[in-house]
Structure 1
């Protein structure tokens, strides 16, 4: 899949977009983090400001109403989003990422014309319905089924199955539903992806999941009971596009999650440095203690390494040099790194770091999920290790 947003936004224009985003994150959202956490929702006025800024469609091509940022620009945005509550990014993350990119990369022109303008404007919330009980990081295990029946103008697909942990499901207008049309065979995995309106008969959305962290970022189970859609709902008009679309979209999304991790790690580091410079023990700022300085140094090294890796990985994606091993490497390193940095941040804060309302306590809980979704760390290790071995074998 080509990165269709390449070279559409100049460096100068992007600098303005990034500056406005940083100002929004740090001066509008950061002061309201406690409110978002307590209410378990992003306030309507914050959502509306994000919508007006074009954040629901920053990675959607301009021809379809978005800002048209490419992947190297996307990661710079993600590092800003990661600096605050991850509920902000989650609100529009699926529109720009794993859901929106399936349509951008694999949808027909008619499907793009029908949905992408609404997705880019924020009028439509798109949700990526892949994960199931028993089929998460490996889509090959999907059990949701799509059966084609009828003839002539009455042809339809009937979709039945259960999805789990679906981001933005409670607010979704459109589900991109991955379903098996036949058993895997020599021709492919037999997985298709369908565009299913949230109000279609047979679609049920469960209650919001009660999670460890990421308050305000809503997920839920979604059920499909003989949901009927026409051939025009089959993404790309082909029954074997689903698996490739999922893998491509997830690989691109892994770079974004890595960048998000760097932003969260930077925030944890900044909070640690600020606390170490002002909090005292025995009248001495704790930042003057060498063991505290060592923790800060380890945090700084992780953040800098992660930022460099994310930027290089985005460059490799844009050039087409590496769209498999590098994204998994970046996600593995950066999501593990932010977990370590957040843990050190709590340690630097001492008892204060364990108190609800202190930013590093929230960060510690929030970033734990980053090692799980869009492919666990274990799956990334398999992709990386297996990919390296297969590449060496091909060269023999």
Structure 2
């Protein structure tokens, strides 16, 4: 049935009208996270990136805890118990500010907290989750090793029994939050298979030297974990899982947040390019009036719109309990790849200013080079999808 009612005005930054897909609760999450970022982080993030540090990261963690975004999709133990889609929207808004900020929240909630929440004992949950949800304790997740990335089954970190204790030896690499963490969830080979351990970072033999000289994710703490004869009591092991199912389940949680977060980085660059193109004048008119610039803006908007629609679809599937790991791979592969291309195209619109930290574009672009790799490289997600499509494994 046709109608003669006037159409609502068109938002040039939301051509498809995707904001209408959000419920009131989801809009409230977006608004609250965006407000915190605008007040607390956006004015300083370029400087933090340039300096390669987050001043008062513990204070920031507590503010994020007060906002309710740490472990926000988990139930109980001080967690907010929100929907997967609400969590995804929070990740989008966080990464629209910076990938390092979203990484802090993802590692805390979807890796460290989720591991304890899903596979831990009641005592482990009570000891750590309420403090982590409040931002009073920071967690990290030790899986990747210096010589082991995409093939975690080949990890060399080892846990052996010594009486009733466990003793851990090994190295982990590229660990977000490692140098500031109060607790590390560390995965190690045992005689029983891969097991997870809850390791207080003040345990003798544990150290976490910070990794310097990064040109990506500079507003994020990245560390090596060194375990030299780390002795733990018997109850430090995560009791409810043995094998790679444990760490891989956590990675799927984090990848889901990346599906959304990458869209936030893309939105930030798209908006920066739109604004700049309207203000930058060449040959007597704004560059937004030139056909080639408009083609770039339209192509960026198309890919951003499709990526956001995919994120919404996967969020609804996760909320319905029907989301498969292969579908998360589809979202991670597409959305990070397209977000990175949007950032690169935005850089060309800004010209020389595109490499200045006065604008967010080069920061997002270099950050996404890391996001493209962590939580599964593009190659690995391609092979996951290839196996799903053909029934043939090309991993080995």
Scaled by the length of structure 2, the TM-score of the pair is 0.89
Cα displacement (A) at 1:237: 5.0
For the pair 1:257 / 2:258, whether they are aligned, the reply is yes
Say if 1:209 and 1:218, in contact at 8 Å, map to a contact too.
no
Structure 1: how far apart are the matches of 2:129 and 2:60? Answer: 22
For the pair 1:171 / 2:183, whether they are aligned, the reply is no
The unaligned stretches of length 5 or more in structure 1 are 1-10, 184-189
State the aligned residue count.
370
Match 1:226 to one of 221, 226, 229: 229
Look up the SS of the partner of 2:331 in the other structure: helix
> Structure 1 residues 252, 57: CA separation in 2 closer, same or farther (over 3 Å shift)?
closer
Look up the SS of the partner of 2:97 in the other structure: coil
Say if 1:29 and 1:46, in contact at 8 Å, map to a contact too.
no
- 1:75-94 C-alpha deviation (Å, 9 max, x unpaired): 11111111112232233321
Question: 2:212 — aligned with what?
Answer: 209
The unaligned stretches of length 5 or more in structure 2 are 1-22
Deviation larger for 85-94 or 308-317: 85-94
Cα displacement (A) at 1:205: 1.3
Deviation larger for 63-72 or 315-324: 315-324
Question: 2:124 — aligned with what?
Answer: 111
- 1:200-241 C-alpha deviation (Å, 9 max, x unpaired): 011011133321122220111111011111221110255x1x
Question: 2:17 — aligned with what?
Answer: none
Question: 2:42 — aligned with what?
Answer: 30
Cα displacement (A) at 1:21: 1.1
Say if 1:165 and 1:209, in contact at 8 Å, map to a contact too.
no
Match 2:161 to one of 128, 131, 148: 148
Question: 2:142 — aligned with what?
Answer: 129
Structure 2: how far apart are the matches of 1:390 and 1:322? Answer: 19
> Structure 1 residues 117, 47: CA separation in 2 closer, same or farther (over 3 Å shift)?
closer
- 1:321-361 C-alpha deviation (Å, 9 max, x unpaired): 23211000000000101110010011011121123433212
Question: 2:376 — aligned with what?
Answer: 375
Structure 2: how far apart are the matches of 1:250 and 1:135? Answer: 15
Cα displacement (A) at 1:162: 0.6
Say if 1:25 and 1:83, in contact at 8 Å, map to a contact too.
no
Say if 1:328 and 1:383, in contact at 8 Å, map to a contact too.
yes
Structure 1: how far apart are the matches of 2:321 and 2:389? Answer: 17
Say if 1:191 and 1:243, in contact at 8 Å, map to a contact too.
yes
> Structure 1 residues 30, 54: CA separation in 2 closer, same or farther (over 3 Å shift)?
same
Structure 2: how far apart are the matches of 1:386 and 1:296? Answer: 35
> Structure 1 residues 156, 46: CA separation in 2 closer, same or farther (over 3 Å shift)?
closer
User: Where do residues 1-396 of structure 1 align in structure 2 (5 Å cutoff)?
Assistant: 12-44=24-56, 46-61=60-75, 63-150=76-163, 155-182=164-191, 190-236=193-239, 238=241, 240=242, 242-390=243-391
> Structure 1 residues 146, 88: CA separation in 2 closer, same or farther (over 3 Å shift)?
same
> Structure 1 residues 361, 225: CA separation in 2 closer, same or farther (over 3 Å shift)?
same
> Structure 1 residues 46, 100: CA separation in 2 closer, same or farther (over 3 Å shift)?
closer
Look up the SS of the partner of 1:159 in the other structure: strand
Look up the SS of the partner of 2:81 in the other structure: coil
Cα displacement (A) at 1:104: 1.5
Structure 1: how far apart are the matches of 2:91 and 2:221? Answer: 19
Say if 2:217 and 2:367, in contact at 8 Å, map to a contact too.
yes
